[in-house]
């Protein structure tokens, strides 16, 4: 019995975008019938690698050997024709065409007049799909199917086009548990048919359920490759996050100073049982005045969604938020803002700043009604607010009239902070407040968060930077797959415990304590 053939070999792949080395000398080998997990946090280079494999980008350096031949795909279509298919989160088929037409798109059976043989197409489509456990009327438009079924059609199509490699990018993000099971059996079927699968997901359970091998990327480099069974969850998480287990870290690497907030004060914000379909499953948390509560978890665990739901930007199916004991009208950003909740969104460039407007207008934006009389803006009041915050936050702009889009990331973030501080908020929700900003600005922002908490604000801090999360937070609530799986308080707020909780091992048991977490 010969070892399975090598289907795809990637050697020394590199790709640089202006200012960012997205992928740096990465190797990847796939064998027939291998289900390979590709994991990494934000910016690790997963999507760049996938896009290089499927012809969306061209590599700067390195080579891709597919079925023994060096290849260079100019377009995704070329890659697909050669036998590398990609199934994206959003199904990339044609929603208005029938299921059968989608399945046979580009290789439709013809009758002897050269016309589409619809009868044959429908029959074969029905047959093919039934092997995937999908039993639907194949004449219906694709969009009438559920997302799971659509994904199956995409998969069936990929297999039918004689794919040798199937890349799946977060295929389960919008599936129901039952659909996930079907998907898994299909993936195992692919494996048995000798197809290599690259499986990208943040859900550790899924990885361990279907994958045999794993590649971990971090900061554009491959930091691990091996059999998944040889790596327990904790090691996987620590490899991914780049933290060694048990390593005692020197404190004071960040500008956070530590504890604040009275432990017995009434919470300024409580969120209970927040549920958003496919995203959050009953998340509850509370923040006391002067307290910084960290929100931990991997990418896709529901951190951003939790913050957005609290801020009214994401409609919850159930659950509620109270501010200082007063229930908040759900799903309304203005109501949340009036109640004193401010959200610094993760995607600063597209959801935070208004790039074409000036620093001044951006700072005054949310507070405009307060700075106006009878709908007329009082320029004097705006100026005084703007000047105060430019000075207090040390915003570096050529003038208050400079466009915010022209500022550095750190200054943009400060402008956003100023916008919210001008509203005198009770609670600040900070989603990745220091991502993509330079070291100096980062320290300033961290110091500011500390000061604000000391002034009595409740802060929810979301950060992929473990140091920042650990040192900045008084308490860390850990999310996994949209649910709270643990809460670290006091001396338990350490990287080690955090990673154990994220990995799903019971940190209490490991530490020999009795506290029960998980749900």
Query: Site residues (CB under 8 A) for other proteins?
Result: 95, 143, 311, 313, 333-334, 336-338, 343, 345, 350-357, 361, 364-366, 368-369, 372, 375-377, 419
**How does DSSP assign 247-294, residue by residue?**
PPPPS-SSS-----S-TTSPPSEEEEEEEETTTEEEEEEEE-TT-EEE
- Select 400 or 504, whichever has its Cβ closest to other proteins: 400
Burial category of 519 from C-beta neighbours within 10 Å (exposed 0-12, middle 13-18, buried 19 and up): exposed
Distance in angstroms (rounded) separating the CA atoms of residues 153 and 15: 32
The least distance separating other proteins from the CB of residue 368, rounded to whole angstroms, comes to 5
Q: Helix (H, G, I), strand (E, B), or coil: what is residue 242? A: coil
CB of 403 to other proteins, least distance (A): 10
Is the distance from CB of 390 to CB of 397 less than 8 angstroms? yes
The 8-class DSSP code of residue 370 comes to G
Closer Cβ to other proteins, 267 or 345, answer by number: 345
Q: How far is the CB of 382 from other proteins (least distance, A)?
A: 10
User: Measured from the CB atom, is 180 or 357 closer to other proteins?
Assistant: 357
**At which residue do the structure tokens 């915003």 appear?**
395
Cβ proximity to other proteins: between 339 and 453 the closer is: 339
- Measured from the CB atom, the residue of 377 and 443 that comes closer to other proteins is 377
3-state SS track over 75-136: CHHHHHHHCEEEECCCCCCCCCCEHHHHHCCCCCCECCCCCECHHHHHHHHHHHHHCCCCCC
Q: Closest approach of Cβ 351 to other proteins, in Å? A: 5
Nearer to other proteins among residue 240 and residue 404 (C-beta): 404
Closest to other proteins by CB, 318 vs 378, is 378
Strand bridging mode 213-218 / 221-227: antiparallel
State which residue, 185 or 424, has the beta carbon closest to other proteins.
424
Rounded to a whole number of angstroms, the minimum distance from the CB of residue 434 to other proteins is 19
In the complex, the smallest distance separating the C-beta of residue 428 from other proteins, rounded to whole angstroms, is 14
Each residue of 268-298: b (16+ CB within 10 Å) or e? bbbbeebbbeebbbebebbbbbbbbbbbbbb
Kindly state the smallest distance separating residue 369's Cβ from other proteins, in Å. 6
Q: How far is the CB of 357 from other proteins (least distance, A)?
A: 6
| C-beta of residue 413 within 8 angstroms of C-beta of residue 448 | no
Place of tokens 């220091």: 434
For residue 91, give both structure tokens: 């199904």
């Amino acid at each position: 019995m010969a070892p399975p053939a090598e289907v795809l070999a990637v050697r020394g792949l590199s790709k640089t975008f202006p200012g960012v080395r997205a992928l740096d000398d990465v190797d990847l080998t796939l064998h027939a019938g291998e289900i390979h997990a590709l994991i990494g946090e934000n910016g690790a280079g997963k999507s760049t690698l996938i896009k290089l494999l499927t012809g969306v980008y061209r590599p700067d350096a390195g080579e891709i050997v597919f079925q023994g031949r060096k290849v260079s795909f100019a377009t995704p279509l070329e890659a697909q024709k050669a036998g590398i298919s990609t199934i994206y989160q959003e199904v990339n088929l044609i929603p208005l065409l029938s299921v059968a037409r989608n399945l046979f798109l580009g290789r439709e059976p013809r009758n002897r007049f050269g016309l589409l043989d619809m009868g044959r197409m429908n029959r074969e489509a029905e047959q093919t799909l039934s092997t995937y456990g999908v039993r639907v009327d194949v004449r219906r438009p694709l969009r009438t199917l559920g997302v799971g079924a659509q994904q199956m059609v995409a998969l069936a199509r990929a297999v039918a086009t004689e794919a040798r490699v199937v890349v799946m990018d977060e295929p389960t993000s919008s599936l129901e548990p039952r659909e996930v099971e079907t998907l898994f059996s299909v993936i195992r079927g692919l494996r048995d048919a000798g197809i290599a699968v690259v499986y990208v997901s943040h859900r550790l359970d899924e990885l361990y359920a279907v994958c045999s091998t794993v590649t971990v990327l971090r900061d554009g480099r491959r930091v691990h490759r091996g059999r998944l069974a040889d790596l327990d969850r904790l090691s996987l998480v620590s490899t991914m996050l780049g933290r060694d287990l048990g390593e005692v870290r020197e404190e004071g690497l960040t500008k956070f100073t530590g504890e604040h907030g009275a432990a017995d004060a009434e919470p300024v914000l409580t969120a209970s049982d927040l549920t958003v379909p496919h995203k959050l499953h009953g998340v509850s948390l509370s923040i006391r005045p002067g307290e910084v509560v960290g929100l931990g978890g991997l990418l896709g665990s529901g951190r951003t969604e939790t913050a957005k739901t609290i801020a009214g930007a994401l409609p919850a199916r159930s659950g509620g938020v109270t501010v200082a004991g007063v229930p908040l009208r759900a799903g309304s950003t203005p109501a949340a803002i009036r109640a004193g909740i401010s959200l610094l969104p993760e995607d600063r460039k597209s959801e935070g700043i208004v790039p074409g407007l000036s620093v001044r207008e951006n700072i005054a934006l949310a507070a405009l009604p307060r700075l106006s009389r009878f709908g007329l803006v009082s320029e004097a009041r705006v100026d005084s607010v703007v000047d105060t915050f430019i000075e207090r936050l040390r915003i570096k702009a050529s003038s208050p009239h400079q466009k915010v889009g022209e500022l550095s990331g750190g200054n943009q973030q400060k402008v956003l902070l100023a916008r919210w501080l001008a509203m005198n908020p009770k609670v600040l929700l900070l989603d990745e407040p220091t991502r993509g900003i330079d070291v100096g600005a980062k320290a300033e922002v961290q110091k500011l968060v500390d000061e604000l908490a000391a002034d009595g604000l409740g802060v929810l801090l979301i950060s992929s930077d473990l140091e920042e999360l650990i040192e900045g937070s008084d308490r860390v609530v850990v999310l996994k797959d949209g649910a709270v799986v643990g809460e670290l308080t006091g001396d338990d707020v350490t990287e080690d415990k955090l990673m154990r909780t994220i990995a799903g091992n019971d940190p209490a048991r490991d530490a020999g304590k009795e506290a029960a977490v998980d749900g």
